[in-house]
Amino acid sequence: MAELTALTIAEARDGLKKKSFSAAELADAHLAAMEKARALNAYVQETPERAHAMAKASDARIATGKAGALEGIPLAIKDMFCTEGVRTTASSRILENFVPTYESTVSAQLWRDGAVLLGKTNNDEFAMGSSNETSYFGPVTSPWRRKGANTKLVPGGSSGGSAAAVAANLALGATGTDTGGSIRQPAAFTGTVGIKPTYGRCSRWGIVAFASSLDQAGPFAKTTRDAAILLRSMAGHDPKDTTSVDRAVPDYEAAVGKSVKGMKIGIPKEYRVDGMPPEIEKMWEQGASWLKAAGAEIVEVSLPHTKYALPAYYIVNPAEASSNLARYDGVRYGLRVPGRDVIEMYEKTRAEGFGPEVRRRVMIGTYVLSAGYYDAYYLRAQKVRTLIKKDFEDCFKAGVHAMLTPATPSAAFGIGEKGKADPVEMYLNDVFTVTVNMAGLPGIVVPAGLDGQGLPLGLQLIGRPFDEEAIFSLGEIIEKAAGRFSAPKWW
Amino acid sequence: MSVDADTVRRIAHLARIAVADGEVEHLRGEINAILAFVEQLSEVNVDGIEPMTSVTPMAMKKRPDVVTDGANADAVLKNAPAAEDHFFAVPKVVE
């Protein structure tokens, strides 16, 4: 039944409705594929029993005409989302045995609409990373390989397991979280579609907190349409998250295929960075001409504070992370390493429970928030953030509907190739995506082509606040022109 | 700005993360690389700019100050490394 795993969500939805196959068959096909793909390490936990039970319930609802919008659709959930009764680790040793007694709002809404849980996917520890190499459970191997080589490549991060699972047909869709690019960069590396919606569009309740003013949940899918279908279920107001917005959720799928005639698309000149590979520059131009051919108007715009987004992010992000991760104290949940007294217990627990990247970020955050340094670092970064957001607002006020940019400065790299000597080398991966989190805007990445080595490259569309619909419409134009890309199966 | 070995030890203690003597030099290098990278922010003129407090303009929502949850001590303690009689258990704090 290998062909069932190759379906899109829209196709599976039709097949289930027509009873061409059952939700149980669809789940089984995916569980079998997951078992054969364990070498990728995309899942940190498979939940076959849960999948069987949920699929069975879906089949019963389909039989009685009570199917929800995602009835019987098997999904993977990033291990940052708390799932009731299913271990949730954030891919950290400190949460190795944590079993939530509650369900995150976003995943609860997926189950409300009939989706089926296949398992929990691997990610960088506490979502801190751009390659999925900081996971306590080891790196994820991308289903993609360079032409004629078998070097193991990263799927990107932090949502590397979700991206790899969708790219390798181990789930019809998956959830991710995006703090600085953690959905969009892995989507670009794996030839999948990923969207980070506007800050406040999805509830953060029940998602392991990393940097609260930047974190948003969003979907991974094989197509723009599928991403739109998933986001509609995931989004919505939640009284349990005061930053979630009380605003109706549009039918995003209706935006897919809509004309983009007359839309003004900004090409931010500051994104033309030094050393950008010519292939990425060419693809960017190609993307602009596809949108132009579809009737959009292409204009050059300026976002003058772009170069300061990444340094400001590396203050705001560790600062918020250090505060959020203060809760891991070995007292209420998670790992405890005994010490002579309570302080030593805290210190040993956190030293052994957190990996190197998490320890580093917590320490940087502690430093920039500490007495005497707060104004110089944190306060200044928050002022720069205001300027970054204003750059976008000025363009939108001038009539720009969305921006088109590259998703990443390069295609996927090899496991172990980056960030060994200098952590900043890894951070630079997010140069095109962090601005969007800093400004709270929606951003989608769609596959736009393959590079000379046969690896996928993505383009990013950045929208006005709460105008996910525009970037779904635009994303589909690029998808239609570029075609879909799938990794040749080797695992 | 850059940090010295003593500052690394002080930050680690503030963050409640045990750092072995052998790790200090390496951490110092990494922290300084990050601090050197963020140093470019000092070029930006931020005079009269308000620091961002909320990325989406919204008024803080309020709700009536009433009990909405509780009476689930078993669930709260379910993942506790040590618990006794519906209390979290910790090493002795006061001599």
* Contact flag B15-A363 (C-beta cutoff 8 Å): yes
Whether pLDDT at A144 is above 50 = yes
CB of A137 within 8 A of CB of A190?
Answer: no
Residues A74, A244, A437: CA angle, nearest 5 degrees: 85
Nearest by CB to residue B91, choosing from A332, A341, A423, is: A341
Residues of A in contact with B30 (CB under 8 A): 360, 422-423
Predicted confidence at residue A2, as pLDDT, reads 46
Two tokens, residue A68 = 């929800």
> For residues A422 and A164, which has the higher predicted lDDT (pLDDT)?
A164
Predicted confidence at residue A440, as pLDDT, reads 98
Question: How big is the A-B interface in CB pairs under 8 Å?
Answer: 168
Hey, is A290 helix, strand or coil? helix
* Contact flag A342-B41 (C-beta cutoff 8 Å): no
Residues of A in contact with B81 (CB under 8 A): 330-331, 333-336
Provide the 10 A C-beta neighbour count for residue A7. Answer: 21
Two tokens, residue A424 = 């900043």
Catalytic-residue membership of A58: no
Two tokens, residue A374 = 């707060």
Tell me which of A78, A196, A222, A418 is the catalytic residue: A78
Assess: ipTM above 0.85.
Answer: yes
Question: From A315, which residue of chain B is nearest by alpha-carbon distance?
Answer: B38
CA distance A114 to A237: 19
For residue range B35-85, what is the model confidence (pLDDT) as tens digits? 999 999 999 999 999 999 889 888 878 889 999 888 999 999 999 999 999
User: Quick one: pLDDT band at residue B10, thresholds 50, 70, 90?
Assistant: very high
State what percent of residues in chain A have pLDDT above 90.
Answer: 96
Place of tokens 């509650």: A102
Two tokens, residue A336 = 């405890």
A181 to chain B, closest Cα gap in Å: 17
Per-chain mean pLDDT for chain A: 97
A452 to chain B, closest Cα gap in Å: 32
Provide the 10 A C-beta neighbour count for residue A281. Answer: 13
Whether pLDDT at A1 is above 60 = no
Residues paired with A174 in a beta bridge: A76, A220
Residues of B in contact with A333 (CB under 8 A): 79-81
Q: What's A38's DSSP letter?
A: G
For residue range A170-193, what is the model confidence (pLDDT) as tens digits? 999 999 999 999 999 999 999 999
Question: From B82, which residue of chain A is nearest by alpha-carbon distance?
Answer: A331
Predicted confidence at residue A338, as pLDDT, reads 96
Question: From A336, which residue of chain B is nearest by alpha-carbon distance?
Answer: B81
SS3 content of chain B, % helix, strand, coil (to 5): 40, 5, 55
CB of A240 within 8 A of CB of A209?
Answer: no
Query: Max Cα separation, chain B?
Result: 57
Whether pLDDT at B95 is above 90 = no
Q: Taking each helix axis from N to C terminus, what angle separates A224-234 and A9-17, rounded to the nearest 10 degrees?
A: 80
Single-letter residue type at A323: S
CB of B30 within 8 A of CB of A360?
Answer: yes
Nearest by CB to residue B31, choosing from A347, A351, A363, is: A363
Nearest by CB to residue B61, choosing from A242, A373, A379, is: A242
* Contact flag B38-A338 (C-beta cutoff 8 Å): no
C-alpha torsion A65→A70→A76→A78, nearest 10: -130
DSSP per-residue letters across A131-156: SSTT-TT-PPPPS---TT----B---
Q: What's B60's DSSP letter?
A: P
Residues of B in contact with A203 (CB under 8 A): none
* Contact flag B38-A381 (C-beta cutoff 8 Å): yes
Please check whether residue B86 touches A, CB under 8 A. no
C-alpha torsion B75→B79→B83→B86, nearest 10: -10
CB of A144 within 8 A of CB of A167?
Answer: yes
| C-alpha Rg value of chain A to the nearest Å | 21
Whether pLDDT at A97 is above 70 = yes
CA distance A425 to A413: 12
B5 to chain A, closest Cα gap in Å: 13
Two tokens, residue A139 = 């790196």
CB of A138 within 8 A of CB of A155?
Answer: no
Predicted confidence at residue A274, as pLDDT, reads 83
Tell me which of A107, A130, A159, A182 is the catalytic residue: A182
Nearest to A395 by CA among A260, A267, A290, A271: A267
Predicted confidence at residue A255, as pLDDT, reads 98
* Contact flag A341-B92 (C-beta cutoff 8 Å): yes
Q: Which of residues 52-81 of B touch A (CB under 8 A)?
A: 52-56, 58, 60-61, 63, 72, 75-76, 78-81
- CATH 3.40.720.10, domain A2-262+408-482, yes or no: no
Tell me which of A158, A244, A322, A410 is the catalytic residue: A158
A311 to chain B, closest Cα gap in Å: 4
Nearest to A304 by CA among A266, A269, A264, A265: A269
* Contact flag B51-A322 (C-beta cutoff 8 Å): no
CA distance B42 to A46: 48
CA distance A264 to A399: 7
Catalytic-residue membership of A182: yes
CB of A348 within 8 A of CB of A339?
Answer: yes
Catalytic-residue membership of A78: yes
B71 to chain A, closest Cα gap in Å: 14
Least confident stretch, A210-224, A268-282, A299-313: A268-282
For residue range A269-286, what is the model confidence (pLDDT) as tens digits? 999 988 888 999 999 999
Nearest to A43 by CA among A9, A89, A78: A78
Predicted confidence at residue A63, as pLDDT, reads 96
| C-alpha Rg value of chain B to the nearest Å | 22
Residues of A in contact with B78 (CB under 8 A): 99, 101
Sorted by where each begins, the domain ranges of chain B are 5-43
Residues of A in contact with B88 (CB under 8 A): 331-332
Two tokens, residue A339 = 């010490």
Nearest by CB to residue B17, choosing from A213, A347, A424, is: A347
Q: Which among A238, A243, A367 is the top mutation candidate for probing chain B, defined by the most B β-carbons within 10 Å of its own β-carbon? A: A367
Cα A334 to the center of its chain, rounded Å: 25
Q: What's A70's DSSP letter?
A: T
Predicted confidence at residue A276, as pLDDT, reads 87
In angstroms, how far is the first alpha carbon of chain B from the final one?
41
For residue range A324-375, what is the model confidence (pLDDT) as tens digits? 999 999 999 999 999 999 999 999 999 999 999 999 999 999 999 998 999 9
B19 to chain A, closest Cα gap in Å: 7
Cis peptide before A302 (omega within 30 of 0): no
3-state SS, A222-276, equals CCHHHHHHHHHHHCCCCCCCCCCCCCCCCCHHHHCCCCCCCCEEEEEHHHCCCCC
Two tokens, residue A413 = 């790299």
Provide the 10 A C-beta neighbour count for residue B23. Answer: 15
Predicted confidence at residue A184, as pLDDT, reads 98
pLDDT, average across residues A41-61: 98
User: Quick one: pLDDT band at residue B94, thresholds 50, 70, 90?
Assistant: confident
Residues paired with A370 in a beta bridge: none
User: Quick one: pLDDT band at residue B32, thresholds 50, 70, 90?
Assistant: very high
pTM attached to this predicted model: 0.97
Nearest to A140 by CA among A201, A61, A230, A79: A79
B90 to chain A, closest Cα gap in Å: 7
Two tokens, residue A190 = 């794996």
pLDDT, average across residues A230-255: 96
Q: Which among B1, B2, B28, B44 is the top mutation candidate for probing chain A, defined by the most A β-carbons within 10 Å of its own β-carbon? A: B44
Residues paired with A265 in a beta bridge: A298, A402
Residues of A in contact with B40 (CB under 8 A): 307-308, 311
Provide the 10 A C-beta neighbour count for residue B60. Answer: 7
CA distance A324 to B20: 24
